[in-house]
Amino acid sequence: MASIGASELVCSLPPHRPELSRITTVVAPSAVDRLYAASTLAFSQFPGGGLQTKIFSWIFGPNSLSKNGTFLLVQLQLWPLLVPNLVKLGLLPLCQSSVELEADKQCQWLLHRHFRALTFSRNLLFSLPISAEPNSNSSRTIFSSSSSLSCSSYSNSSVKELQNPTPKRDNHFVILGIETSCDDTAAAVVRSNGEILSQVVSSQADLLAKYGGVAPKMAEEAHSQVIDQVVQEALDNAYMTEKDLTAVAVTIGPGLSLCLRVGVQKARQIAGSFKLPIIGIHHMEAHALVARLTEKDLQFPFIALLISGGHNLLILARDLGQYVQLGTTIDDAIGEAYDKTAKWLGLDLRRSGGPAIEELAKEGNAKSVNFSVPMKQHKDCNFSYAGLKTQVRLAIESKKIDAKIPISSASKEDRLARADIAAAFQRIAVLHLEERCERAIQWALKMEPSIRHLIISGGVASNHYVRSRLDMVVKKNGLQLVCPPPRLCTDNGVMVAWTGIEHFRMGRYDPPPPVEEPENFVYDLRPRWPLGEEYAEGRSDARSIRRARLHPSLTSIIQASSQQ
Ligand code: KG4
Ligand code: ZN
């Protein structure tokens, strides 16, 4: 394939915000890659960060893929002055105007997958030797004639380079993060230097208290009711409008599809209307990476214990997007066990079950009830909380505790009996974490001896008892514990925005969606989406972990796109 001499890409920069011209064309996928090459060159070189994303916007409508899947309909927005150069380079027009287009769901899915791969392949461009001296005083930018870009060589770049590309420039870009995967509607605006400009969380505490858990349809409705207000408040509190944003990040999985959909729809509306790139975020990766916002020295590799209502994960984070799953739960997560125990003990669930148990446990004797530690006989790093839940339920029944009597109305003895169970449950639930962490540290150090930190995050990591017990385990093994502050441990928009920032820097993002999407548009939602592949030596010999309808892991997607 031809090589583009970078010196040929001479772009005249208008002094003010330029008028963009819109061109609709049909291009072969291979040509899209070449267009990306050009856009990335321009992207990395132009001064005035606010203009960067406007050089090219890729708008793929639902009718974007031809019947045989060979051509893409691409709408480009670009500076008129760039056009002659692109034509000269043979990048435009690559038109096949008579290609027939169709818009079924299969087509949208294929397009999405194809496009995603293209987006990720952009990372490779960062590792290319581009030297340039943009002349910020004049309206002309010239790429150094010594640099050239071979379009056929992307996939030959070394993976290591890919994983650690140095961003060309960091103009303190600003990202809006939206989170609706479970029962919290959250949004935040974060600057690329880690400055949190705003953070808004609307929790469904009343619903939670009423149903004793998350009811997907109700949760979806609750998200829909508040999403506009939450996002608006996040922008207002940051003293910004959508026009000031560089990109929008949104959780696309794992979580409840109905709920995820509300956030994704909102994010796409904003990104479409304001021509902003959009970044799909893995909820659990966000829980882990937020620790890098609060602890600036936290470098890869590190171990992460992610403990929330729906997840119990132990991972080795080797690099951004490179995770090894050391352990997961074979049934329930620890947060679910906290929530159910709280419900059965008649506690006030308005702040969710975890904090209520933590509070009550302080009054009880943790050794007064004997619960057994789960999975003692399994020498792996997986978790199980279903059995402990049953033990707790039986203990509650045997002590004749009536959950219908709220704790606030319980007699002194009744309250003490409940506190004993809360304390005993918490001790064993956390002991299970301690044992698994101890083993995970040994396993991870074998793979990555340079590990210095273990981070804990997710709602349960805001628990002080959990923190202090794990601190002892981590210190005993010569590592340091990192815990984000409680408000960043529970679901929030900051973690989503920050993870967006980390990926955006690496060139991993999608183009702005169309301004209007059809009602029946199939969103890319990933309700069951592993973070990384299982550690081969750590496969559970316990009851098999459910693998049905699993989406390919984030790590495998990133690896596959890097190798293209
Ligand atoms: O991460 P998160 O906010 O949402 C999910 O992704 O699930 O975690 C929510 C879970 C709930 O189960 C809640 O009871 C638990 O975190 N949690 C706690 C505490 N605060 C929240 N569990 C124990 N102690 C706490 N202080
Ligand atoms: Zn969470």
Give the chain's mean pLDDT. Answer: 75
pLDDT for residue 34 is more than 90: no
Which residue, 501, 488, 471, is CA-closest to 173?
501
- HSE-CB at 519 with a 13 A cutoff on CA atoms is 0
Ligand closest in space to the Cα of 281: 2
Ligand closest in space to the Cα of 496: 2
Indicate the burial class of 394 (C-beta count within 10 angstroms; 0-12, 13-18, 19 or more).
Answer: exposed
Q: For ligand 1, say whether the CB of 204 is within 6 Å of any of its atoms.
A: no
Q: What is the tens place of the pLDDT at every residue in 533-548?
A: 999 887 766 655 555 5
Q: For residue 309, how far is its CA from the centre of ligand 2 (angstroms)?
A: 7
For ligand 1, pick from 208, 338, 488 the residue to mutate: most ligand atoms within 8 Å of CB.
338
Weakest-pLDDT range from 127-141, 490-504, 522-536, 541-555 = 127-141
Per-residue pLDDT, 106: 33
Ligand closest in space to the Cα of 283: 2
For ligand 1, pick from 488, 490, 531 the residue to mutate: most ligand atoms within 8 Å of CB.
490
3-state SS track over 434-498: HHHHHHHHHHHHHHCCCCCEEEEECHHHHCHHHHHHHHHHHHHCCCEEECCCHHHHCCCHHHHHH
Which atom of ligand 1 is nearest the CA belonging to 490?
3
| Other CB atoms within 10 A of residue 262 CB | 23
Q: For ligand 1, say whether the CB of 66 is within 6 Å of any of its atoms.
A: no
Q: For ligand 1, say whether the CB of 428 is within 6 Å of any of its atoms.
A: no
d(CA 142, CA 6): 9
Which residue, 419, 420, 435, is CA-closest to 470?
435
Helix axes 353-361, 412-447, angle to 10 degrees: 110
Q: What is the tens place of the pLDDT at every residue in 292-347?
A: 999 998 999 999 999 999 999 999 999 999 999 999 999 999 999 999 999 999 99
Q: How confident is the model at residue 507 (pLDDT cuts 50, 70, 90)?
A: confident
Per-residue pLDDT, 214: 66
Per-residue pLDDT, 255: 94
**Across 519-546, average pLDDT:** 80
More confident position, 100 or 432: 432
Per-residue pLDDT, 35: 56
Ligand closest in space to the Cα of 426: 1
* Percentage of residues in the chain having pLDDT higher than 70: 66
Q: For ligand 1, say whether the CB of 512 is within 6 Å of any of its atoms.
A: no
pLDDT for residue 252 is more than 60: yes
Q: For residue 380, how far is its CA from the centre of ligand 1 (angstroms)?
A: 24
Q: What is the tens place of the pLDDT at every residue in 155-173?
A: 222 222 222 233 333 557 8
Strands 10-12 and 184-191: unpaired
Q: For residue 339, how far is its CA from the centre of ligand 1 (angstroms)?
A: 8
Which residue type occupies 190?
V
Which atom of ligand 1 is nearest the CA belonging to 183?
4
d(CA 147, CA 45): 13
